[in-house]
Amino acid sequence: MSTHIGAKAGDIAPTVLMPGDPLRAKWAAQNFLDAPECINEVRGMLGFTGTWRGNPVTIQGSGMGMPSLSIYANELIRDYDAQTLIRIGSCGAMQADIAVRDVILAMTASSVGNPSRAMLREIHYAPHADFGLLRAAHEAASKRGTATHVGGIYSSDTFYDERPDLHEQMVRHGILAVEMEAAELYTLAARHKRRALAVLTVSDHLVTGEDLPAIEREQSFGEMVEIALEAAFA
C-alpha cells in the first residue's frame, strides 16, 4: 500500500480511470466493470478494480483539484506502476457552440499554475494528451455518434474564480472548457513516460448558465466512461 492508497501489490491494474468524485468511481465500477472489487477506502477516496472485456481496469477517485490529483497519480505511477491514466470528469463549457452533455477530449491543458510549477520554474510548459489515446477516443466517440469536441482546455486552481478578465481571455483564445485536474495529470504523465488523456462531459456552461444537478453529474456520464475504456484498449 502507499500513503493514500490502501491497495496491495497487484490490486491496481495498468489502466486506471480517474474521476474526481469517489462516488462516481463506485458508480462507474458497478456499471461498466465485471466483478469489481473495492481496493481502496483510505480517506473515503474509493477505488475499484475489475475487468472490461477481459482487460483489468482500476477506477480510482482523485479528489478535486490538481494538488489532490497529483497525490493519487504520483502514487499510482510510483507505487503501483500504472501505465495509462485517463481522467473522466465534468467540465464547464466556454464556447457557445458546445452544449451541456457534449464530450470534450482535451488535447492540451493550460493553467495559471500547477503542483509541478516549482519544478519547471520559469518554463511555460505545455502539457498535452497522449496522441494515441486521443486519436482512439475520437474514433470511439465518432462511431458512437457522440457530440465531441477536441482542443485545449483550462485547468483552474479555483472553483469560485473572481477573474472575469481571465475568463474572457480563455474564451477569446479558443479554450473549450474549464476543469481542475488535467494539466497536472498530463505533466506527470510526461515526466514518468506514461499515457494520459482527459475525457470530459460538459456539466455546466459558463456562457449560457445552464447546468446539471449533482445526481446527474455523478451518474449520467456513461458515454464518457465507455469512450475512455474503448480508447485505453484500442
Q: Which residues are annotated as a binding site for a purine D-ribonucleoside?
A: 4, 179-181, 203-204
Annotated binding site: 4, 20, 24, 43, 87-90, 179-181, 203-204
Q: What is the DSSP letter of 135?
A: H
Catalytic residue from among 81, 102, 165, 204: 204
For β-strands 195-205 and 84-93, DSSP reports them as parallel
Annotated binding site for phosphate: 20, 24, 43, 87-90
Q: How far apart are CA 37 and CA 122, in angstroms?
A: 44
To the query of whether residue 204 is one of the catalytic residues in this protein, the response is: yes
Q: How far apart are CA 195 and CA 131, in angstroms?
A: 9
If 0-12 CB within 10 Å is exposed, 13-18 middle and 19+ buried, where does residue 19 land? buried
If 0-12 CB within 10 Å is exposed, 13-18 middle and 19+ buried, where does residue 14 land? middle
Residues designated as active site: 204
